[in-house]
Amino acid sequence: MYFSKSLIPILKNNPSEAKIKSHQLMLRTGMIKQSSAGIYSWLPLGFKVMKKIEQIVREEQDRIGAQEILMPTIQSSEIWKESGRYDDYGEEMLRIKDRQNRELLYGPTNEELITEIFRSSIKSYKSLPQLMYHIQWKFRDELRPRFGVMRCREFYMKDAYSFDLLDEDAQHSYNKFFLSYLKTFKRLDLSAIPMAADTGPIGGNLSHEFVIIANTGESKIYTDRRIFDVNNDEVALDKKSLIDLRKEYNKYYAVTDEKFNQNEFDSNVTSENKLETKGIEVGHIFYFGDKYSKPMNASVDFNGSKEFVKMGSYGVGVSRLVGAIIEAKYDEKNEIMKWPLAISPYHCAILPQINKNDKANLEKALNIHEYLKSKNIDTIIDDTDESISSKMKKFNLIGVPFQIILGKKSEDDLVEFKEIGKDVTKTKVEEIYKIIINKL
Ligand code: ATP
Ligand code: MG
């Protein structure tokens, strides 16, 4: 891909309407463009990052045996009347009428729709557990959309649902998603802490929010600092049984503000371990038993009796994660966006110095590009006539982890190479290929 032909509308300065870093940078590097309040178009750079995050989320759902489906964005009001939430949900729900005057809505979440799919397809307890997920746009008419993709009205979410026969089976499904979330966020190089949370309009009695510590976050959290050690313990993730893993986390007080209780905090956490701070909620899991299956009559036949299935739901804010990762990773001092390699918009940028009558650097760039492309390395050539230093600044800002510079100092097979955040070195092209391939 040539930079000159790409839709990456970079702005010279941070736009003044944006209050937080991630919003400023996403607008400045042309990742997104607002179309109306809390509604954005995703331009190529932002879309690439979001798709890469989505793929990691998907792989970790598949790994625990969840089945991917795709439900529509538009739902009928009927099922929401059955569950009783049509009236409860309030003004956050966008309600629409079709030409026959039928009441429709743009889905803010999918408990009802998935329960309807389940009850018409699954009859026997032998088909349980059923774990399903989809990755789809949601709409919530938030009172105050703000902070760019962090609190939108239209946003992209992975939501999963579990159906089990017994309470303890359902808890096992809950624990599977709990673990899968830890693994997902680890792959995104984020430390997201599970905090005991309120269940809100979803209902039920067991819930965790996965929260990244950040000053700009909207969730208030109260926790024992030692929970970070559990989160950083790689071995625990792979070795512990699901129950042991939950116990490990349960040792430490960690709650969101709806669950906060000063007396409990004081009696469970010593003052040096207390942490009261703010964070960004990137995932939320709920167990709510038969809250939907009972009113909507979703049951299975078990030894001749009718059992309402026990359900849970599990959300990840895929579009919010793009902003959350910037908040967590941006190197303010050096103005460098440090994407984890797995989700950086491009792996490598080739920056040739372009001289009017000498196309040698550009030709060399093309050869390198062809080779990297053949190795599935996502690469862009900056073929504009800007100076090398301004090209480097631009790709630091965008956050491309490897840069190959073809300027005055480059010789035949010896060129300048830079890993983001490090110094430029003169390196053989073959060597560069090896370094990049090894790191991916
Ligand atoms: P919040 O407290 O931030 O409003 P929520 O509890 O309403 O979140 P859920 O219904 O659990 O959110 O949705 C699952 C995930 O979807 C959240 O963890 C969050 O990452 C994301 N999400 C929710 N609302 C928004 C929004 N308005 N904009 C972007 N992402 C959102
Ligand atoms: Mg909300």
Q: Would you say residue 297 lies in a domain? A: yes
pLDDT at position 311, please? 97
Domain that holds residue 319: 7-331
- Tell whether ligand 1 has an atom less than 6 A from the beta carbon of residue 320: yes
Same domain, 299 and 359: no
Percent of the chain with pLDDT over 90: 85
Q: Would you say residue 339 lies in a domain? A: no
Average pLDDT, the chain: 94
Same domain, 360 and 285: no
Nearest CA to ligand 1 atom 31: 317
Enter the tokens of residue 133: 């997920």
* Ligand 2 centroid, distance to 207 Cα (angstroms): 14
Same domain, 368 and 292: no
User: Residue 374's domain is classified under what CATH number?
Assistant: 3.40.50.800
- Tell whether ligand 1 has an atom less than 6 A from the beta carbon of residue 140: yes
Instruction: Read off the pLDDT of residues 77-95 as tens digits, 9 standing for 90 and up.
Output: 999 999 999 999 999 999 9
| Total structural domains within the chain | 2
Q: Would you say residue 126 lies in a domain? A: yes
Same domain, 127 and 45: yes
* Ligand 1 centroid, distance to 317 Cα (angstroms): 6
Q: Would you say residue 354 lies in a domain? A: yes
- Tell whether ligand 1 has an atom less than 6 A from the beta carbon of residue 284: yes
Same domain, 217 and 256: yes
Residue 168 has pLDDT above 90, yes or no: yes
Enter the tokens of residue 307: 């059992």
pLDDT at position 129, please? 98
Instruction: Read off the pLDDT of residues 334-375 as tens digits, 9 standing for 90 and up.
Output: 888 899 999 999 999 999 998 887 788 999 999 999 999 999
* Ligand 2 centroid, distance to 200 Cα (angstroms): 9
Domain boundary at 303, 331, 359, which?
A: 331
* Ligand 2 centroid, distance to 292 Cα (angstroms): 19
Report the predicted TM-score, pTM, of the whole model to 2 decimal places: 0.96
Residue 321 has pLDDT above 70, yes or no: yes
Nearest CA to ligand 1 atom 21: 317
Domain boundary at 278, 307, 331, which?
A: 331
Indicate which atom in ligand 1 lies nearest the CA of residue 324: 20
- Which pLDDT band, with edges at 50, 70 and 90, does 204 fall under? low
Residues 348 and 404: beta-carbon distance below 8 Å: yes
Distance CA(95)–CA(110), nearest Å, equals 15
Enter the tokens of residue 106: 């743009």
**Distance, CA of 231 to chain centre:** 18
pLDDT at position 282, please? 98
- Tell whether ligand 1 has an atom less than 6 A from the beta carbon of residue 142: yes
With a CB cutoff of 8 Å and minimum separation 6, the contacts of 405 are 351, 388, 392, 415, 416, 417, 418, 424
User: Residue 264's domain is classified under what CATH number?
Assistant: 3.30.930.10
Domain boundary at 286, 303, 331, which?
A: 331
Distance CA(265)–CA(219), nearest Å, equals 17
* Ligand 2 centroid, distance to 168 Cα (angstroms): 28
Q: Would you say residue 369 lies in a domain? A: yes
Q: Would you say residue 177 lies in a domain? A: yes
Same domain, 325 and 380: no
Q: Would you say residue 2 lies in a domain? A: no
Q: Would you say residue 1 lies in a domain? A: no
Residue 202 has pLDDT above 70, yes or no: no
Give the other-Cβ count within 10 Å of 89's Cβ.
Answer: 17
Same domain, 125 and 254: yes
| Helix and strand element counts for the chain (H, E) | 14, 21
Residues 32 and 148: beta-carbon distance below 8 Å: yes
From the CA of 153, the nearest ligand is 1
Phi, psi of 403 (to 5 degrees): -130, 130
Instruction: Read off the pLDDT of residues 124-148 as tens digits, 9 standing for 90 and up.
Output: 999 999 999 999 999 999 999 999 9
Burial of 256 (0-12, 13-18, 19+ CB in 10 A): buried
Distance CA(298)–CA(283), nearest Å, equals 26
Same domain, 179 and 264: yes
pLDDT at position 201, please? 66
